[in-house]
A and B are shown apart, each in its own frame.
Chain A
Amino acid sequence: MRSGLARSALALLLACVVAVVVVPVLVLLRTSWVEGRGRLAEIMTDPGFRSAVANSFWLSAAVTGLAVPVGVAIALALRDPGLPGRNFWRAAVLLPVLVPDFVLAYSWLRAYARAGLTSEAFGFAWPQVQGPVGVTVIVASNAVPLVYLVTAVGLSTRAEPVTERAARASGARPLTVLRTVTLPLLGPAIATAAVLIFVLTLGTFAVPQVIGAPAGFRTITTLIYADLALGSDPQSFVEAITLAVLLVMITVIVVTPADRLLGGRLSLSRTPARDSDWGTGSSTTRILVPIVLGLYLIVTCGLPLLALVSAAFTRAVGVPLSPENWTLDNFLAVLTPRTGQALGRSLLLAVAAGSILLVLGGCTAALSRTRSGRAVSVLVALTLVLPGSVLAIGLLIGYGRWLADTVLIILLAYLAKLWALAHRPISAAVDRLAPAGLQAARASGADLPTALATVVVPVLRPALIAAWGLCFLTALHEVTMSSLLYGPGTETLAVVVLNSADLGRIGVTAALSVIVTVVVLVPGGALWMLGRRSRHG
């Protein structure tokens, strides 16, 4: 009876994956073949198309080259348990994750562009922020937390402190230890991080759209958006799907050999970090690290967010930041029923996505011990690197007939894109469950529900909270797919912000961004505290 239940659950899961991932991708491929065959040569030689493809490629390469060394350096610096305020820094480095990327991009503009905060306060402006250089730097600073996380996991699982002590006791100086032991051991983790960052940057949309598009810097994803959202002729539709197919192909080309080279280590699963028992840093690094890290966070996060808040609360761009110019007008201007509805819709979508994904991710993790269950989890893992633009176009072609301009199609897109995010933490926790635990509870007189409730759920609780929280927050941030799928009356809050930024309404956009950030930060902080408490309590 139990295997029958498992089998039908598995069939249901498989059907879900096929519906939200496989069908959209196949439909996309088929359409591009049917529609695009004749015009392929024409599209491929179009200079706009070619420059978008080249831009995407170089952007990904530059972001990877920038974010990986910084993230690795931060992970190495924060490993020293003797570092003052280490827990604070470890949380602070992850802070950019809680701020939606389009908000951060917009904040950089408010901080460093002409007539920005630093220009007003110190007479320093950085005009290049609006363009390819700015896009690269901002996307890279957004990618650093991920590199940091992957490297930190690699450090705690591969490069145990004893390996470094053995090198010191063999006569190696600290820098030699780094070169001959630590970095070689971190190789797989660093390679994983590099591939992930490259692929995720290929699919990134919000920052190039907010920062690059106004300066004429187009990437594959922003060109898809321009073709679908602004273009109306069949030619732009064909160009969009051709771009989407190209994006899938590049992603597959990058990920497949990497996955094979790394022996399937391309995973994000977090193991509990085991603290090394004593310090590795010197007194000099313990003074330098907080200073450098503090400056880094002020430049990449602090000043931009300060600029955003001050733009939201001042009357106009370029006026001095004195009290007589403070105003709530920008907030009053956005307090429209339309914004309220968008906010409600976003929260509803995020809660729905988080809750459904908790079930889907939990089932995938629970069933992944069977062979077809593993197949499902592999498919699910692929969605992590499948660009959102591709999924969105596939869903639009596949289900647009029935679902176009409804909230439902956005929800489907979230489910497809975030499934892996829900699956990873839960499956990592399931793997850590002692297999005999459940049997031991049964043998101690607990019936199945009691056994589950007393020995399984408490162990899984932090992972379940993390999975729900990750999906909820990412859904609130999501703009790549939402901006392609929304219709009249189904905008999400993120889309409203993006459109407002496109229209160049500075104060209003800043006010909206502040609202989005607060909406994300409050539940984000609450979930973090909850997660901490259930880990320690």
Chain B
Amino acid sequence: MAEVLQLRGLSLAYGATPVLDSVNLTVAEGEVLALLGPSGSGKSTLLNAVAGFLPLRSGEIFLRQRLVATAGSAEPPEKREIALVFQDYGLWPHLTALDTVAYPLRRRGVRRDLARSQAQQILDRLGVGQLSGRKPAQLSGGEQQRVGLARAMARQAALYLFDEPTAHLDAQVRDVFLAELAARRRESGAAAIYATHDAAEALGLADRVALLIGGRVIQVGTPQEVYAQPVSVAAARLTGPVSLLAGSDFPVLVRPDWARLGGDRTGVVADVWFRGSHTDYALDTPEGELQLRAPGLPAHGRGEEISWSLERSWPLPGD
């Protein structure tokens, strides 16, 4: 399958501060790639570089096998086949929802009345068709987000970029958008990058996940891979809680749900948190401190000596 986006050795800096450090990344046709990283890791910068708003220090960006940016030259954003959903929506205070969504259509040369009727259809699909006459100041945060999304959908793009929506996309809107994307994938092979710092969101919606820390991509893989086979402790921490135990040769990583109560190992309960559907324990064990997740109500109290076992673990030769 041909790739929609290819980044080769992408580096970028604000003044003397490096923000992205030789990033290599590809996004295949029809793929949704989640860009998962803590705030300040360079997610927004990467998206804005792909969109064409930031000059590169070095490296190359290919969109549909076409070179669009190098250190010296860059194709302007409007010529790139991208659509961007902004972190703070980026709506225009002076335009109604309808004119906002019609805007990309108008730039493509669609007649005004036709653009408006198409924009209305998109707003309808996202469930905000009745708000088409309102300006941003008259819309709630969630409604503004849908309008921003509708504007991106109105753009015929090869690549849809989501810059970490501050309020997470609600499930219904996300499903509408993913369905839309699936339709476009069949038509034109469109793809998406979704930047977020929320592990559950990234693992839940993406085909592949790229982990970004300090401006470097440290791992790329399917959600299962990055969760179950992290390349480092830092990578593991990005995708969920994790304990580091002393193993026979290397330290081993253990997710809370990989350990269970009862078995051949011993430990002392240091803390207990009841979470409703399950209970989290912190155990002091000879191999180190362990987080353990067990279904149901708390069965042990603080200070109690209990037994436990490992269902699986992941060795970390490098660390």
Partners in one complex: yes
Interface pick from B88-96, B274-282, B285-293? B88-96
- Which parts of B196-254 form the interface with A (CB within 8 Å)? none
Asked whether any CB of chain B lies closer than 8 Å to the CB of A176, the reply is yes
Residues of A within 8 A of B76 (CB): 168, 173-174
Q: Are B91 and A278 in contact (CB under 8 A)?
A: no
With A168-B78, A169-B84, A171-B78 already in contact, the answer to whether A163 and B107 are too (CB < 8 A) is: no
Bound Cα distance from A169 to B78, whole angstroms: 6
Identify the closest chain B residue to A180 (Cβ).
B103
Asked whether any CB of chain B lies closer than 8 Å to the CB of A170, the reply is yes
Q: Are A172 and B107 in contact (CB under 8 A)?
A: yes
Q: Are A184 and B94 in contact (CB under 8 A)?
A: yes
Asked whether any CB of chain A lies closer than 8 Å to the CB of B127, the reply is no
Q: What's the minimum C-beta distance from A278 to chain B, rounded to whole angstroms?
A: 6
Q: B75-111 CB contact bits vs A (8 Å, 1 = yes)?
A: 0111000111010101111100000000110011000
Asked whether any CB of chain A lies closer than 8 Å to the CB of B255, the reply is no
Interface band, chain B: 20 to 34
Asked whether any CB of chain B lies closer than 8 Å to the CB of A166, the reply is yes
Asked whether any CB of chain B lies closer than 8 Å to the CB of A158, the reply is yes
Q: Are A165 and B92 in contact (CB under 8 A)?
A: no
Q: A262-306 CB contact bits vs B (8 Å, 1 = yes)?
A: 000000000000000111000000000000000000000000000
With A171-B104, A185-B94, A278-B54 already in contact, the answer to whether A166 and B78 are too (CB < 8 A) is: no
Q: Are A171 and B107 in contact (CB under 8 A)?
A: yes
Q: Are A167 and B103 in contact (CB under 8 A)?
A: yes
- Which parts of A474-512 form the interface with B (CB within 8 Å)? none
Residues of A within 8 A of B82 (CB): 169
Bound Cα distance from A162 to B14, whole angstroms: 18
Number of interface residues of A (CB under 8 A): 22
Bound Cα distance from A167 to B155, whole angstroms: 11
Asked whether any CB of chain B lies closer than 8 Å to the CB of A317, the reply is no
Q: Are B84 and A166 in contact (CB under 8 A)?
A: yes
Q: Are B151 and A170 in contact (CB under 8 A)?
A: yes
With A165-B77, A170-B155, A185-B93 already in contact, the answer to whether A278 and B103 are too (CB < 8 A) is: no
Q: Are B104 and A170 in contact (CB under 8 A)?
A: yes
Asked whether any CB of chain A lies closer than 8 Å to the CB of B53, the reply is yes
Asked whether any CB of chain B lies closer than 8 Å to the CB of A181, the reply is yes
Identify the closest chain B residue to A187 (Cβ).
B94
Q: B56-89 CB contact bits vs A (8 Å, 1 = yes)?
A: 0000000000000000000011100011101010
Residues of B within 8 A of A278 (CB): 14, 48, 53-54
Bound Cα distance from A166 to B88, whole angstroms: 11
Asked whether any CB of chain A lies closer than 8 Å to the CB of B189, the reply is no
Residues of B within 8 A of A166 (CB): 84, 86, 90-92, 151
Bound Cα distance from A185 to B95, whole angstroms: 10
What are 16 contact pairs spanning A and B, CB under 8 A? A162-B90, A163-B90, A165-B53, A166-B84, A166-B86, A168-B52, A168-B53, A168-B76, A169-B77, A169-B83, A170-B103, A172-B78, A172-B103, A181-B94, A277-B14, A278-B48
A residues contacting B by CB (< 8 A) are 158, 162-163, 165-174, 176, 180-181, 184-185, 187, 277-279
